[in-house]
Amino acid sequence: MQEALRPLVDLVGPGPATPVMVAGLDVAYAQSGDLLAAAVTVLDARTLAVVDSAVSVGRPAFGYVPGLFAFRELPALLAALDRLSTRPDLLVCDGHGLAHPRRFGLACHLGVVTGLPAIGVGMTPLIGEWDPVQRGRGSWSPLRDGGDVVGRVVRTQDGVKPVFVSVGHRMSLDNATTQVFALAPRYRLPETTRTADRLCREALARAR
């Protein structure tokens, strides 16, 4: 299914240069693995204040298989997106887009299904090789896999571990990198990811 949907990914559109509303998406799992909470937070891109949010709590729709996380998390994330009252201009996923063995990670899948511009920001790599990244904020190195540039290894803060940025849908890699820097003024992870992570963990704690 990933290989069938991959041609639908828009790699031409540069995406919104100045998005107004940016959504973060994340999923938390119970230790038992049989319960999850998906959260979406929508931030004002200028102030980084949360203006809307939604959660969906349920059971994983798919087993744990590396590379197939979209099938595990997509139903709950789409349910949370449907509960928003604010339509985001950009989706920032806690995961990967093109930086995926079949070039169709969670950010690609969400982008194609929703039609919204989407990028992936992962804390750890799924695939690829890269040259060392300089230690200063703003530094990055191409993430390569099989001769293809599939993303960037990006240093969002001086001396912290880099994050792994890749295009999901209707975004250029340059624009995706620019948006990640704008969304991460103080910490390693974008504020979109930080707020969504906090919300899904709180929802999961209440559901137990």
| Residue 161, pLDDT score | 97
| Sheet with 21-29, edge to edge strand ranges | 50-58, 36-44, 21-29, 90-93, 118-122, 163-169, 148-154, 140-145
pLDDT digits (tens, 9 = 90+) for 129-173: 999 999 999 999 999 999 999 999 999 999 999 999 999 999 999
How far, in Å, CA of 125 to CA of 76, rounded? 23
**Mean pLDDT within 189-195:** 98
Instruction: Tell me the β-bridge partners of 52.
Output: 42
What homologous superfamily does CATH list for 20-207? archaeoglobus fulgidus dsm 4304 superfamily (3.30.2170.10)
Q: Give the global pTM.
A: 0.95
Using CA atoms, how far apart are residues 208 and 204, in angstroms rounded to an integer?
6
pLDDT digits (tens, 9 = 90+) for 173-182: 999 999 999 9
| C-alpha to C-alpha distance for 148 and 63, rounded to whole angstroms | 29
**pLDDT tier at 64 (50, 70, 90 boundaries)?**
confident
Q: Please choose, from the candidates 148, 147, 157, the residue with its C-alpha nearest in 3D space to the C-alpha of residue 180.
A: 157
pLDDT for position 125 = 96
Query: Whose CA is closest to 53, among 178, 172, 187, 196?
Result: 196
First to last CA, the chain: 33
Helix intervals (H) in the chain: 2-5, 69-82, 106-114, 173-183, 191-207
For residue 92, pLDDT over 90 is answered with: yes
- In the 8-state DSSP scheme, what is residue 8? G
Tokens of 161: 């571990």
Q: How far is CA 184 from CA 15, 40, 47, 137, in A?
A: 19, 17, 12, 10
pLDDT at res. 34: 83
The mean-pLDDT minimum among 68-82, 96-110, 122-136, 186-200 falls in 68-82
The domain limits of the chain are: 20-207
